[in-house]
């Protein structure tokens, strides 16, 4: 059964960022199997929708996932994106520093802890 996947490209990009808040667009593209231009467009989409905050860190960007945001699917509105990332990323995702004097990037392991406390 080739030709389909459980995750959209937007989901794959968000998962890459959950693993490394300072990941470069070219690395996102390589990991997600998309072009760098597509990766840029998806990051822009996610930021415009409020799922990401993009912060400049020298010549690079750092991303902060807004884990409290609900899933965009109407049938899954009760779940926050952080809860889904926690399941998908597992223990491999660690809290990534967002830079000096900046808030910590929210990653899957951190959102899993928050989700378990809330329920």
pLDDT in tens, 16-39: 999 999 999 999 999 999 999 999
Does residue 82 contact residue 115 with C-beta atoms inside 8 Å?
yes
Does the predicted TM-score (pTM) go above 0.85?
no
Domains and CATH numbers, the chain: 9-118 (1.10.10.10)
pLDDT tier, 90 (very low <50, low <70, confident <90, very high otherwise): confident
Q: State phi, psi for 107 to the nearest 5 degrees.
A: -120, 175
Write down the pLDDT at residue 2.
67
- What average pLDDT does range 97-108 have in this prediction? 41
pLDDT in tens, 34-88: 999 999 999 999 999 999 999 999 999 999 999 999 988 777 667 888 888 888 8
């Amino acid at each position: 059964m080739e030709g389909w996947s459980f995750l959209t490209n937007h989901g794959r990009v968000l998962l890459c960022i959950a693993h490394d808040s300072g990941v470069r667009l070219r690395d996102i593209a390589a990991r997600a199997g998309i072009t760098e231009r597509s990766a840029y467009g998806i990051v822009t989409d996610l930021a415009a929708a409020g799922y990401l905050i993009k912060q400049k860190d020298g010549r690079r960007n750092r991303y902060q996932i807004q884990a409290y945001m609900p899933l965009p699917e109407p049938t899954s509105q009760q779940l926050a994106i952080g809860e889904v990332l926690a399941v998908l990323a597992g223990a491999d995702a660690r809290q990534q520093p967002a830079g000096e004097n900046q808030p910590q990037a929210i990653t899957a392991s951190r959102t899993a802890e928050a989700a378990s406390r809330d329920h």
